Amino acid sequence: GIQVEQSPPDLILQEGANSTLRCNFSDSVNNLQWFHQNPWGQLINLFYIPSGTKQNGRLSATTVATERYSLLYISSSQTTDSGVYFCAVKETSGSRLTFGEGTQLTVNP
């Protein structure tokens, strides 16, 4: 099956800093989503982005499908951005969403 690798596994920032999270995948995909799991365990949809670039406030994401990676940008980070960020993909030939292991983000005041 498809392999999904996220980096870095852990990231600690000071409030106000910017960061880039990366998701590499091993096969062609027609579905890629970024999720934020907050400290209470809730999974929140951030982006559905199988290709191209999207922005939502301080967050933006870019997927380069031909090179099999996606990037999530967080600007001017806030303590409420803390949690785990997951990338999940569905390969073009498949029917299942496969998750990476996540990036644990801690934003300190």
Q: Which residues bind another protein (CB under 8 A)?
A: 1, 4, 30-31, 33, 35, 41-43, 45, 48, 50, 86, 88, 90, 95-102
Question: Dihedral of the CA atoms 36, 40, 42, 43 (nearest 10)?
Answer: 20
**Least distance in angstroms from the C-beta of 76 to another protein:** 26
CA Rg, the chain, in Å?
13
Query: In terms of CB distance, is 42 or 55 closer to another protein?
Result: 42
**Least distance in angstroms from the C-beta of 48 to another protein:** 4
Query: In terms of CB distance, is 14 or 45 closer to another protein?
Result: 45
Looking at residue 65, the DSSP 8-state letter turns out to be: G
CA distance 99 to 5: 9
Query: In terms of CB distance, is 35 or 74 closer to another protein?
Result: 35
**Least distance in angstroms from the C-beta of 64 to another protein:** 18
CA distance 92 to 76: 35
